[in-house]
Amino acid sequence: MSLALGCDEAALDLKNLLKAHLEAKGLVVKDFGVHTSAPAMYPDIALEVSLEIAAGHFDRGILLCGTGLGMAITANKVFGIRAATCHDTYSAERARKSNDAQILTMGARVVGSELAKTIVDAWLASEFQGGGSTAKVERIKQIEKKHLRGDQ
């Protein structure tokens, strides 16, 4: 599995910790930054990671900022992306199993490092289950097609 990883300055330490955690598991991780504590525009990082995933260059992505919320809002502006902010393992599992979310966002000011690793592990271990959720994910795609692409 290949992963795209990005953050703003508020989550730099958490990003570095998670990158080491993921690489220790043998996963391929591309770090899209930031790499310093200088103030950064998190929407630019979220956009870059989301475009890479939408293009199929990576299987999944993890975006980190102070709360995870701004990253998710921005990522969800990219056609084909479903990003979910998760601060517990149940939400992380459901984001994959029910919503087929390709991007996990978290807040470095919300979760501690050990919990963050557990959330990431739960999210990575989960796959879309289909079933009753398939029609719902397809409806999300229809709404997205109409409203993000302007198809009337």
The predicted pLDDT at position 120 comes to: 98
What's the CA gap between 83 and 76, in Å, rounded?
6
Kind plus residue range of the DSSP H or E element containing 121 = helix 113-125
Residue given tokens 């598991």 in the structure block: 25
The predicted pLDDT at position 152 comes to: 41
Say how many C-beta atoms besides its own lie within 10 A of residue 34's C-beta: 21
| Catalytic site positions | 65
For residue 98, pLDDT over 80 is answered with: yes
What's the predicted TM-score (pTM) here?
A: 0.93
For residue 34, say if its preceding peptide bond is cis, omega within 30 degrees of 0: yes
For residue 151, pLDDT over 60 is answered with: no
CATH 3.40.1400.10 fits 2-148, yes or no: yes
